[in-house]
């Protein structure tokens, strides 16, 4: 029978004090990076404010953290990483609790070592998978994610010495030893409570953080609306006690791409950038809204590419092909295919080969498209959108206007629904 986790055992030379300190430091670093990445995912991404590691088109934490691969069942991958590193720290604590009284290791110490090696190997394989997703599918690199990949590799390399000897010493006893360790763990109230706290607390905290972020976003939108209304009130000379008018911004344009009935009670203007990860994230929300309000919603699209080559308001390079894609969108609009090509761009089909494929598959006239793309007309159209948005106070994207009422960032759908329902109620009351 296996000894309990707190039993006295000889030392494991492969997990000496220096290695344990190194492993603890690496796991602790993993916890800190995971916390920051979770913060980015749940806060920055939904407000539209770039993170500190958003350095350009290719070095872009935001693009990675807003991608479809950034969540598993609605839980941020970084939050699952936090639980993983916390588990490592618990196992390392169990190793530290062993009394070192000899040059050899007990079966328990050897098994703990192998558990750590197994987890580290799993983390390396996971890192390889996410590195592939980042480079091949998202086509952007998250520096902090890369830091976690390095942490995982170092954990594995530090743990690897002594793993094969440990496996050889345990031999056929390993399966029985694992089963006994699980039974012992379940018999220890403290250990069991710790595991339950990690599992339940991890999932619950992810849900709570998401709900709290949604609430804070709604509050932020309310503050913006209140501030603009207060400004309008002061400018109009109204009494402070008078009902504050709702500030509205008109960015609708008769020549801009639009979808939905012309007489729809709700006009939703989207100011966006095809390469912006926040905008790509919001594209799904807009599709849900169109399905939720059939016949009541008209969508109007205005370009605001975060690219110095056409946007004079950009102080540093960010999305290197955003202007080209915006011009491609304009040229597709000239042939009545703006929203189909926009859907492809928001899905990440953004390189030159993807654009050529989209032109062919959508049945666009290739010669007319290329002529339009190279013409000054396409550039002037995009810059006209930029100028109009900048004059309205737009500095970042995405920005949405619900009958002129502003929503900043890739907000949860509940924020959109709130304003849309208010506008629909007001339209019904006025009849």
In Å, how far are 84, 211, 395 from 214, measured between CA atoms?
A: 26, 5, 22
Question: Residue 279: what pLDDT?
Answer: 86
Q: What percent of the chain is modeled with pLDDT above 90?
A: 34
pLDDT value at 168 more than 80: no
What's phi and psi for 250, nearest 5 deg?
-100, 105
Joined together, the tokens standing for residue 281 give: 């994230």
Q: At 117, is the pLDDT very low, low, confident or very high (cuts 50, 70, 90)?
A: confident
Determine the number of helices (DSSP H) and then strands (DSSP E) in the chain.
16, 7
The yes/no answer on whether domain 13-187 falls in CATH 1.20.1440.130 is: yes
The model's pLDDT over 314-371, given as tens digits with 9 standing for 90+, comes to: 877 678 899 999 999 999 999 999 999 999 999 888 888 889 999 999 999 999 999 9
Could you give the 3-state DSSP secondary structure of residue 329? helix
Q: How far apart are CA 265 and CA 328, in angstroms?
A: 30
Question: Residue 151: what pLDDT?
Answer: 94
The model's pLDDT over 216-227, given as tens digits with 9 standing for 90+, comes to: 445 544 554 454
The model's pLDDT over 48-90, given as tens digits with 9 standing for 90+, comes to: 556 677 776 678 787 787 776 887 776 788 888 888 898 888 8
Could you give the 3-state DSSP secondary structure of residue 250? coil
For 20-34, 132-146, 187-201, 399-413, which range has the lowest pLDDT when averaged over its residues? 187-201
Q: How far apart are CA 76 and CA 72, in angstroms?
A: 6
In contact, 304 and 271? CB cutoff 8 Å? yes
pTM of the model: 0.57
Question: Residue 328: what pLDDT?
Answer: 96
**Where does residue 376 rank: exposed (0-12), middle (13-18), buried (19+ CB within 10 A)?**
exposed
pLDDT value at 215 more than 80: no
Q: Is the dihedral of CA 183, 184, 190, 195 positive or negative?
A: negative
Buried/exposed code over 312-328 (b: 16+ C-beta within 10 A; e: otherwise): eebeeebbebbbbbbbb
Mean pLDDT of all residues in 382-409: 90
Residue 103: half-sphere exposure toward Cβ, Cα within 13 Å: 0
Q: Where are the domains of the chain?
A: 13-187, 258-429
Joined together, the tokens standing for residue 35 give: 């916390």
**Domain 258-429 falls in which CATH fold?**
Glutaredoxin (3.40.30)
- Residue located via tokens 């008078």: 242
pLDDT value at 376 more than 60: yes
Question: Residue 370: what pLDDT?
Answer: 95
pLDDT value at 6 more than 80: no
Q: At 301, is the pLDDT very low, low, confident or very high (cuts 50, 70, 90)?
A: very high
Q: What is the mean pLDDT of the chain?
A: 78
**CB count, 10 Å around CB of 189?**
8
């Amino acid at each position: 029978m296996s000894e309990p986790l707190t039993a006295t055992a000889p030392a494991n030379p492969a997990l000496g004090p220096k290695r344990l300190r190194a492993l603890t430091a690496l796991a602790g670093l993993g916890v800190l990076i995971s916390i920051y990445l979770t913060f980015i995912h749940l806060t920055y991404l939904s407000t539209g404010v770039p993170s500190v590691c958003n350095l350009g088109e290719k070095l872009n934490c935001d693009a990675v953290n807003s991608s479809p691969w950034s969540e598993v069942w609605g839980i941020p991958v970084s939050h699952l990483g936090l639980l993983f590193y916390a588990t490592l720290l618990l196992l390392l604590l169990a190793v530290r609790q062993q009394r070192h009284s000899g040059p050899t290791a007990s079966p328990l110490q050897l098994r703990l070592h192998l558990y750590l090696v197994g987890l580290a190997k799993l983390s390396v394989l996971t890192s390889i998978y996410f590195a592939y997703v980042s480079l091949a599918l998202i086509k952007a690199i998250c520096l902090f994610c890369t830091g976690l990949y390095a942490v995982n590799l170092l954990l594995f390399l530090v743990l690897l010495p002594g793993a094969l000897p440990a496996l050889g010493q345990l031999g056929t006893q390993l399966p029985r030893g694992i089963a006994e360790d699980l039974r012992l763990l379940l018999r220890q109230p403290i250990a069991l409570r710790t595991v339950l706290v990690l599992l339940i607390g991890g999932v619950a905290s992810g849900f709570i953080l998401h709900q709290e972020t949604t609430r804070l976003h709604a509050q932020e939108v309310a503050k913006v609306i209140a501030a603009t209304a207060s400004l309008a009130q002061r400018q109009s000379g109204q009494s402070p006690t008078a009902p504050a008018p709702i500030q509205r911004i008109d960015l609708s344009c008769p020549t801009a791409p639009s979808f939905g009935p012309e007489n729809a009670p709700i006009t939703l203007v989207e100011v966006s950038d095809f390469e912006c990860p926040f905008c790509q994230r919001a594209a799904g929300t807009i599709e849900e809204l169109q399905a939720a309000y059939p016949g009541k919603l008209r969508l109007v699209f205005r370009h605001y590419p975060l690219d110095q080559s056409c946007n004079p308001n950009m102080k540093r390079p960010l999305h290197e092909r955003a202007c080209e894609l915006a011009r491609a969108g304009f040229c597709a609009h000239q042939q009545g295919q703006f929203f189909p090509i926009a859907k492809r761009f928001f899905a990440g089909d953004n390189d030159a080969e993807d654009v050529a494929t989209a032109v062919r598959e959508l049945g666009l006239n290739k010669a007319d498209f290329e002529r339009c793309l190279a013409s000054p007309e396409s550039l002037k159209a995009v810059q006209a959108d930029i100028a109009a948005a900048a004059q309205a106070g737009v500095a970042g994207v995405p920005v949405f206007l619900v009958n002129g009422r502003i929503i900043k960032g890739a907000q949860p759908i509940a924020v959109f629904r709130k304003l849309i329902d208010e506008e629909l109620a007001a339209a019904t009351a006025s009849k």
